[in-house]
Chains A and B, each alone.
Chain A
Amino acid sequence: MRLSGLGIYALFYLVFLYAPIVLLPIFAFNDATIIAFPLTGFTTHWFAELWTNTALHSAVGNSLQIAVTAAVLATLLGMCAARAGAQHNFPGKGAIIGFIMLPLVLPEIIIAVSLLVILVQIMGLQLSNWTVIGAHVLICTPFSIAILNGAFANLDPSLEEAGLDLGESRWSAFRLITLPLVMPGIISSLLISFTISLDEFIIAFFLTGSNPTMPVYIWSLNKDFDALPVVMALGTILVALSIALLTIAEYFRRRGIARAGLKDTGGFL
């Protein structure tokens, strides 16, 4: 690779992007409660502490439950919207899809506040995991649509029509022909929605019930400096997990593109 001035700049930018993440494992294995250089020694103590922390376990369990449900629901809604958007024409299409994509550019605190107002202040409901799930589906759906749009737009509609002409019902034509073709998109949408929901803090902070989610629990450790290395250990595991999940998502996305016989243009969004 020829390194121009621009290339060097881009490399520095990557270093800037990765600076915090590189530090994470360093301090997770560092044998000191104070997070600073110089390093004092190697320990796996912080990971062991994670193992015995029951409050953390329940928060993680809670978050997983929310993230899985939100990912499934958001992907279902995203499939509806992406299919309608990519393969059908109807009046007001741009406006309707634009409205569904709106949470992508709204500050999350606005979504959190508005749902808190309507659910608690006006309808008098109790906050629970479901209130968080409801909001997370709302913010994950636009991402799901963005991913699935590609999958549906690349799909040749005549394939499904051929299925219909050959006597399949509408549903089985979809299930047998379209679904396998967009499956890579669905998987990457599920994974990305899952990751977003798992990581989302401010909405969960406003809408969580008596059981905190994992980010809300991490937030509660903020004032507790002794807990910081444990957070680093947790973060290391999370980063490793996200990278694994994203690599899988990227793999499926590329396979989808290859399956549709297209050139790779890259990127999730």
Chain B
Amino acid sequence: MANGSFLSSEDKRGLTLVSFPFLYALLLLAIPIGAVILFSFWTQDFMTIDTTFTMNNYREIWSEPIYGSLLQRSVMVSGLVTMATVLTAFPVAYYISFHLAPKQKSLWLFLITIPFWTSYLIRVFLWKVILGYNGVVNSGLLKIGLIDEPLTFILYNVNAVIITLAHAYAPFAILPIFVALEKIDRSLLEAAQDLGEGKIVTFFRVTLPLAMPGVVAALVIVSIPTIGDYVTPELMGGAGGKLIASMIQTQFLQLSNAPLGAALALVAMATVMAAIFVIFAQLKLMAWIVRTYSSGRGFGELAFLCLAALLLQALVILTIFGIWSGSFGGSIWFFAGMLAYSAGILSLVGKKRG
């Protein structure tokens, strides 16, 4: 350490202690990821690796439509899973935090974490049993006569992948939101109601903004792992529901084209991070609208404002989608546009706040 002399002996002991896990993470995480980055600029030459620096892998991902559409589907599925998980989990977290006695809280949290600790593979197998052609849902619905023939849209396609992943990541969404809700000072809510706000407006102007850190954490924790998930798309997705991880696995373990696989893994990572940035900007915008325009307005007006802003943005996004060709080469412009747009929102919203 350059500034070692400024450190107290307490600090030094802390550094020494943390250096073990830090070095471990450096050796087994930072260096391997560095190696993947390096590797992605090399090429596979039959059995050997050609170590001349080249952009060929990225060029291939750019120009071959299959990678673009896989990536697009992965982002879409990850986005839908994240949305479904967070939206369905929020009321549960809210219920546990606001409606239950402390003793019951820990029991509920325990109940929620248990399914998560049981074998993921077996859980996915069981979803196949539940959603399958002769599965629980279909035979049940047939028996009560709600349907005449088995539903086919719930297995071996994207829907099945979304249901299974939303199930698998539920605790990851509930826990951070619960923690954020627990931290909210209950007297703030009373204050809002004493000052004459209704229950719903209090929720949107006090509870929800204060719970936002938890919601953002849930968004990140759910979306990043889901985009790289292999088991669920492979087992539940059928031919049309495979995601990018299947392609990465194929490149590495079946086609022995590790450099291309490495490039794909990196592109997938970068894509999900960009997507999170975009979502983050959207949330900031909503928060800004609520903060700036909420005083003296009813809930209806506020909801209308948020909805209008969302629709306007959807329009912008769809317009850009319209000129999008379908290959990754096309979608990268889309992403660049979205990123610039989000950065714009953030700088605007950030300024207004100060």
Q: Is the CB of A7 within 8 A of B99?
A: yes
The dominant DSSP class at the A interface is: helix
The CA of A224 and the CA of B286, in the complex, are separated in Å by 50
Contact residues, B79-120 vs A (CB, 8 A)? 88-89, 91-92, 94-96, 99, 102-106, 108-115, 117-120
Nearest-neighbour CB distance to chain A for B134, whole angstroms, equals 4
Instruction: Considering the complex, give the chain B residue whose CB is closest to the CB of A241.
Output: B118
Most buried by A among B102, B110, B125, B175: B125
Bound-state CA distance A192–B102 (Å) is 24
Question: A110 touching B265 by the CB < 8 A rule?
Answer: yes
A233 to chain B, nearest CB (A): 11
Q: Report if A90-B18 is in contact (Cβ < 8 Å); known contacts: A109-B249, A117-B258, A121-B39.
A: yes
A46-54, A64-72, A80-88, A177-185: which lies at the B interface?
A80-88
**B231 nearest CB across to chain A (Å):** 6
Of the 9-residue stretches B20-28, B194-202, B277-285, which lies at the interface with chain A? B20-28
Chain A, residues 75-105, CB within 8 Å of chain B (1/0): the string is 0111011011101111101001101101111
Query: Is B253 in contact with chain A by the CB < 8 A criterion?
Result: yes
B112 touches A17 (CB 8 A): yes
Alpha-carbon distance between A250 and B111 when the two chains are bound, in angstroms: 11
Q: Are B235 and A222 in contact (CB under 8 A)?
A: yes
Q: Are A199 and B119 in contact (CB under 8 A)?
A: yes
B252 at the interface (CB under 8 A from A): yes
Cβ-defined contact, B119 with A107, below 8 A: no
Contact of B102 among A80, A201, A235, A263 (CB under 8 A): A263
Is the CB–CB distance between A107 and B127 below 8 Å? no
B165 at the binding interface (Cβ < 8 Å): no
Residues of B contacting A269 with CB < 8 Å?
175-176
Contacting pair B10 A89 (CB below 8 A) = yes
- Check B18 against A97 for contact (C-beta < 8 Å): yes
Q: A83-B17, A107-B228, A107-B269 are in contact. Are A114 and B33 (CB under 8 A)?
A: yes
Residue B287 is within 8 A (CB to CB) of chain A in the complex:
no
CB pair B14–A87 under 8 Å, yes or no, is: yes
Interface assignment of B230: CB less than 8 Å from any CB of chain A: yes
Q: Are A17 and B170 in contact (CB under 8 A)?
A: yes
**Known: A80-B18, A102-B25, A122-B35. Is A90-B11 also a contact (CB below 8 A)?**
yes
- Is B135 interfacial (CB 8 A cutoff)? yes
Chain A residues with CB below 8 A from B344, complex form? none
Task: Provide the residues of chain B in CB contact with A117, threshold 8 Å.
Answer: 32, 35-36, 39, 258, 262
Closest residue of chain B to A34 (Cβ to Cβ) is: B134
Tell whether B229 is near chain A: CB-to-CB under 8 Å.
yes
Separation of A104 and B221 alpha carbons in the complex (Å): 8
Q: Are the CB atoms of A134 and B121 closer together than 8 Å?
A: no
CB distance from A71 to the nearest CB of B (A): 14
Is A29's beta carbon under 8 Å from chain B? no
A77 x B21 contact (CB < 8 A):
yes
By secondary structure, the B interface counts as: helix
Of all chain B residues, which has the CB nearest A103?
Answer: B29
Q: A257 vs B89: C-alpha distance in the bound complex, in angstroms?
A: 27
Q: Is A10 a contact partner of B96 (Cβ separation < 8 A)?
A: yes
Interface residue tally on A, bucketed by range: 35 or more
Interface string of A22-43 (1 = CB under 8 A from B): 0110010000001111100000
Q: Are A113 and B248 in contact (CB under 8 A)?
A: yes
- Does B265 lie within 8 Å of A109, measured CB to CB? yes
Instruction: Report the nearest A residue to B14, measured CB to CB.
Output: A88
Which residues of B sit under 8 angstroms from A24, Cβ to Cβ? 122, 126
Contact A102 B18 (CB under 8 A): no
**Distance (whole angstroms) from the CB of A137 to the closest CB of chain B:** 7
Knowing A19-B130, A24-B122, the reply to whether A141 touches B99 (Cβ < 8 A) is no
Is B14 a contact of A84 with CB atoms below 8 Å? yes
Cβ–Cβ contact A7 & B18, under 8 A = no
By beta carbon, the residue of chain A nearest B44 is: A121
The listed residue (B39, B104, B118) touching A238 by CB distance below 8 A is B118
Contact indicator B11/A89 (Cβ below 8 Å): yes
A195, CB-defined interface residue at 8 Å:
yes
Contact status B262-A14, CB under 8 Å = no
Asked if A164 is at the interface (CB within 8 A of a chain B CB), the reply is no
Decide if A158 is an interface residue (CB 8 Å cutoff).
no
Q: C-beta contact mask, B119-157 vs A, less than 8 Å → 1, else 0?
A: 111110111011010111001100000000000000000
Question: Is B205 an interface residue when CB atoms closer than 8 A count as contact?
Answer: no
Chain A residues engaging chain B, CB cutoff 8 angstroms? 1, 4, 6-7, 9-10, 13-14, 16-21, 23-24, 27, 34-38, 76-78, 80-81, 83-85, 87-91, 93, 96-97, 99-100, 102-111, 113-118, 121-122, 134-135, 137-138, 141, 145, 192, 195, 199, 201-202, 205-206, 215, 218-219, 222, 228, 231-232, 234-235, 238-239, 242-243, 246, 250, 254, 263-269
When A and B form their complex, which 9 residue pairs have the shortest distance between CB atoms, in order from nearest?
A107-B228, A88-B14, A266-B106, A114-B32, A20-B126, A84-B18, A235-B122, A84-B17, A36-B134
A-B contact pairs, 17 of them (CB 8 A): A13-B88, A13-B170, A20-B123, A76-B20, A84-B15, A107-B225, A107-B269, A113-B36, A138-B25, A141-B25, A199-B121, A206-B253, A215-B121, A238-B118, A239-B119, A264-B106, A266-B108
Seed contacts A21-B114, A242-B114; 15 additional CB < 8 Å A-B pairs: A7-B99, A9-B95, A35-B129, A78-B21, A83-B17, A90-B11, A96-B22, A99-B22, A103-B25, A108-B225, A111-B29, A242-B119, A243-B114, A265-B182, A266-B108
